């Protein structure tokens, strides 16, 4: 027996859909249900929302979950979208069901406390989530508009960031510390770390490094790598020059894999901070308390510290570290590349022992 036709409702597949013009506005959307009774309730609710919006300028109430879904869909192209999705999943437990106009500093207090006290994360990590909330609320108040031209939110609240006073400090390695640490690493990881500490590359730049990014510089009888913008953190292409140690690391991998420079048992490596890294860090006597960073990013800090100790110019350090500075950093002449190679070769000289001043607590 066919169901009775309801004005403004029609069955499409298994679900009822709204298709109705009301006060000059057309509603054309799914009710998300196969129940006629629930579809009628949904239609009545939507008509009332539309009446309130048209006559009184009243915004339909939308939850943070709805806003988060819209934000993610609009930013699928961003490299950081997976990180945003992870933060929003954490937030959803606390504010997902709340309406946008119910979210402010006090509403987020439970989230902050749980993340800091129970999950034991750093304040910087909490701030990254708060920044995402702030961005969504600003979009809802200033850019996102409904079919009536009304923004999703009347006014965005001010979301305060936590004062970051618990950040772990970088731990640039001394030569002796580097020797102890690298000696304890498996060969494939030691090779990657030698490349990283001699180029200042970020972890994902090393893991994703591909042979197709290698370019010859005939005048200098060497090669360089140009990392595409979609891989580099700041979205700009990045030139990687090789000193003798980094070059040897690359040559030891040539022919091992068709696409990626660094691999393990024939497969690309997704991350460097593995169990083997953590075990080697501990066994080499490096600090394990929360005061210092313990990850592979310390190798990049070591590279930067050694460049500075070798009195490499600020401009060259910016280029070598791939910092965004407004320049198209891959457009260099051979002499300029040669100058950068000379600069990175200074960080392999063990005679340049570093004196690192560290605060004793």
Domain range summary for the chain, segments of one domain joined by +: 9-56, 64-142, 175-348
pLDDT digits (tens, 9 = 90+) for 75-126: 998 878 889 999 999 999 999 999 999 999 999 999 999 999 999 999 999 9
| Residues 207-250: tens digit of each pLDDT | 999 999 999 999 999 999 999 988 877 778 889 999 999 999 99
Q: Which residue has the higher pLDDT, 48 or 8?
A: 8
* 268 within 8 A of 262, measured Cβ to Cβ: yes
Which pLDDT does position 232 carry in this prediction? 76
In the structure encoding, which two tokens stand for residue 50, read together? 């539309």
* Burial of 114 (C-beta count, 10 Å sphere; 0-12/13-18/19+): middle
Tell which wins on pLDDT, 153 or 331.
153
| Backbone conformation region of residue 237, classed left if phi is above 0, alpha if psi is from -120 to 50, else beta | beta
CATH topology of domain 175-348: hpI Integrase; Chain A (1.10.443)
Who's near 66: CB < 8 A, 6+ residues apart? Answer: none
Q: Could you write out the three-class secondary structure of the chain?
A: CCCCCCCCEEEECCEEEEEEEECCEEEEEECCCCCHHHHHHHHHHHHHHHHHHHHHCCCCCCEHHHHHHHHHHHCCCCCCHHHHHHHHHHHHHHHCCCEHHHCCCCCCHHHHHHHHHHCCCCHHHHHHHHHHHHHHHHHHHHCCECCCCCECCCCCCCCCCCCCCCCCECCCCCHHHHHHHHHCCCHHHHHHHHHHHHHCCCHHHHHCCEHHHEEEEHHHCEEEEEECCCCCCCCCCEEECCCHHHHHHHHCCCCCCCCECCEECCEECCCCCCHHHHHHHHHCCCCCCCCECCCCHHHHHHHHHHHHHCCCCHHHHHHHHCCCCCCCCCCCCHHHHHHHHHHHHHHHCCCCCCCCCCCCC
Ranges 130-134, 137-141, 166-170, 345-349: which has the least confidence: 345-349
Q: What is the mean pLDDT of residues 306-325?
A: 89
The pLDDT, as a whole number, for residue 1 is: 41
């Amino acid at each position: 027996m066919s169901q009775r036709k309801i004005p403004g409702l029609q069955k499409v597949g298994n679900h009822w859909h709204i298709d109705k013009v009301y006060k000059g506005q057309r509603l054309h959307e799914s009710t998300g249900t196969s129940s006629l009774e629930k579809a009628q309730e949904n239609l009545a609710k939507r008509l009332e929302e539309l009446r309130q919006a048209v006559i009184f300028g009243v915004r339909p109430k939308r939850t943070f979950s709805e806003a988060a879904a819209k934000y993610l869909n609009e930013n699928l192209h961003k490299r950081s979208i997976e990180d945003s999705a992870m933060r929003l999943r954490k937030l959803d437990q606390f504010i997902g069901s709340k309406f946008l106009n119910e979210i402010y500093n006090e509403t987020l207090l439970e989230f902050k406390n749980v993340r800091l006290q129970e999950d034991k994360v750093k304040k910087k990590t909490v701030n990254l989530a708060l920044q995402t909330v702030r961005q969504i609320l600003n979009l809802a108040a200033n850019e996102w508009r409904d079919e009536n031209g009304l923004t999703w939110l009347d006014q965005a609240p001010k979301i305060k960031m936590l004062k970051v006073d618990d950040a772990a400090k970088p731990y640039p390695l001394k030569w002796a510390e580097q020797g102890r640490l690298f000696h304890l690493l498996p060969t494939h990881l030691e090779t990657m770390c030698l490349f990283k500490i001699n180029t200042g590359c970020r972890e994902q730049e090393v893991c994703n490094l591909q042979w197709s990014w290698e370019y010859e510089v005939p005048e200098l009888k060497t090669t360089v790598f140009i990392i595409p913008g979609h891989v580099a953190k700041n979205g700009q292409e990045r030139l990687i020059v090789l000193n003798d140690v980094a070059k040897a690391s690359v040559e030891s991998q040539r022919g091992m894999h068709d696409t990626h420079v660094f691999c393990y048992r024939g497969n690309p490596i997704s991350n460097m901070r593995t169990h083997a890294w953590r075990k080697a860090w501990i066994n080499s006597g490096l600090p394990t308390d929360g005061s210092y960073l313990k990850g592979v990013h310390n190798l990049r800090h070591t590279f930067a510290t050694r460049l500075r100790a070798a009195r490499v110019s600020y401009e060259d350090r910016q280029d070598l570290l791939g910092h965004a500075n407004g320049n198209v950093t891959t457009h260099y002449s051979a002499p300029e590349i040669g100058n950068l190679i000379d600069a990175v070769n200074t960080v392999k000289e063990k005679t340049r022992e570093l004196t690192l001043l560290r605060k004793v607590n």
